[in-house]
Amino acid sequence: MDVPSVSCSGCGICVVVCPRDALKMSFSAQGHLRPALNKNLCVDCGLCVRVCPFVDVHDEGEVVVSGFTTGLIGKYVKVGLAWSTDERVRFKSASGGAATSILKYLLEERIVDAVLAPRIWVKRGIVFGRYEVVYDPKEVVNYAGSIYAPVDITKALKEALKERLHIALVGLPCQIRGLRRSFQYLPHLKDNIKLVLGLYCNNTPSSKATEYAVKTLLKVKPEKVSYLSFRGHGWPGYAIIATDDYRTLKVSSPVFWDSGLGQYFYGKSCLICSDHTAELADISLADPWTYQRGISAGKTLVVIRTKLGLEILMRAVESGYLEFEEIPELYAVQYTTLLKKAVKVITKRGSKYPYVIPPSITTVLHEIDYLVGSSLARDERLWPLLRFYAKTRHYVFKPLVTIDYFLKLGFNRILAKVSKAWIVG
């Protein structure tokens, strides 16, 4: 059985569960992390395909590309804003430092033996993330911030499972889907993974995306980059880039993301993925884009989904790690949530996905935009043209997208009154 390559996001879960170590993550030519198979070691047990978040294996052994769930934001018990009481954490983190504070609380209270979180690595101009097993609560702050590049979970997760550690981890929606699927086949994983924090996820840009942004936006040669962080320094924060000739460059994070880095360098899996909000996490975490505007001390939008998630968050609040304020659930719905739940015109033509939002002008425009931009992104010689395209498309897209968002949100507000099913999966 093979996973259709169009639908691999590089979540790494197949590599973690393979009983023969026949899979290894490696970079593709386009800068995505993808599993590579050593056929000599493979015993064709099929486990890797069964845990893959992107495919369903039918009884007859047929492998089909899977859509995720219905509903807008999945199950939840509370939606709110949370922020760290430690100003250093809040300043360094992506939003309000809720993720970092919860992980720190779990370690300090010895609720888990270790936490798994990635941090940024820069090697010969390639920027990527690598998970590590973190035991020391004081270290957790060093992992704060968002990594908009491929991230490898495999080595750290394998190590933690081998050591039978009780862990908490933070992951992207597709990783969490893969993990939850693996619990079905390997129940001991469920015993070891105590709490799952999920990040909202628009997409994961390839490593080429950072190269592109550094080159065309900052006019720096990627191989000169010695350090890079995508978020932090307040909210929504700055990308910080240090070079080996001791220069430090600072650019607003939304400008860095909107340069084309966040729009044209992701794989098709992110285009067909409809889980924006980490629906299978215990607690999902996001930027409060729909609630907070302007530059400020950050807060994290949190969607608490399970009893355990609620208990842990409330205990962390009582113990003084976090502040929490409940807000209406509609603020958890971002434009991307709607976009990802819309019927995908190009990639899913002819398929039977039960998405909840009908296609609209902006859905179609979004896919055309991706097709044009990603074609330019594939060839480095065309990057200056891509930069020009990324700058000018805003004049057409921003007004349309904004109008569409409010129309759809209004539409959903009315529907929510009639039936909660449109918000809850």
Ligand X SMILES: Cc1cc2nc3c(=O)[nH]c(=O)nc-3n(C[C@H](O)[C@H](O)[C@H](O)COP(=O)(O)OP(=O)(O)OC[C@H]3O[C@@H](n4cnc5c(N)ncnc54)[C@H](O)[C@@H]3O)c2cc1C
**H or E segment to which residue 115 belongs:** strand 114-123
Map the footprint of ligand X across residues 75-94, applying CB under 6 A: 93-94
Q: Does 11 bind ligand SF4 (CB under 6 A)?
A: yes
Cis status, amide bond into 288, omega within 30 of 0:
no
Task: Point out which span in 138-146, 380-388, 393-401, 416-424 binds ligand X (CB under 6 A).
Answer: 138-146
From CA 160, how far away is CA 170, in angstroms rounded? 14
Residues touching ligand SF4, count (CB under 6 A): 36
- Contact indicator for 362, 400 with CB cutoff of 8 Å: yes
Considering CB distances under 5 to 8 angstroms, the limit depending on partner class, which of ligand X, ligand SF4, none binds residue 43? Answer: ligand SF4
Check residue 173 for interaction with ligand SF4 (CB under 6 A): yes
Measured over the CA atoms of residue 252, residue 362, residue 273 and residue 264, the dihedral's sign is negative
Which of 9, 269, 300, 374 binds ligand X (CB under 6 A)? It is 300
Across-strand partners of 126?
123
Find the binding residues for ligand SF4 in span 190-229 (CB under 6 A): 201, 203-204
Q: Rule CB under 6 A: choose which of 122, 172, 356, 377 binds ligand SF4.
A: 172
Our finding on whether 200 is near ligand X (CB under 6 A) is: yes
Using CB under 6 A, pick the residue from 26, 36, 44, 371 that binds ligand SF4: 44
Least Å distance, CB 415 to ligand SF4, is 25
Residues 6+ apart with CB under 8 A from 167: 112, 113, 114, 115, 116, 133, 160, 192, 193, 194
Q: Give the C-alpha distances (Å, rounded to integers) separating 378 from 39, 95, 208, 394.
A: 29, 31, 9, 21
CB nearer to ligand SF4: pick between 10 and 262: 10
Nearer CB in complex with ligand X: 221/250: 250
Q: Which is nearer to ligand SF4, 111 or 161 (CB)?
A: 161
C-beta of residue 75 within 8 angstroms of C-beta of residue 55: no
The whole-angstrom separation of Cα 89 and Cα 84 is 7
Which stretches of the chain bind ligand X, using CB under 6 A? 93-100, 117-118, 129, 143-148, 151, 170-172, 199-202, 204, 285-287, 289, 300, 334, 336
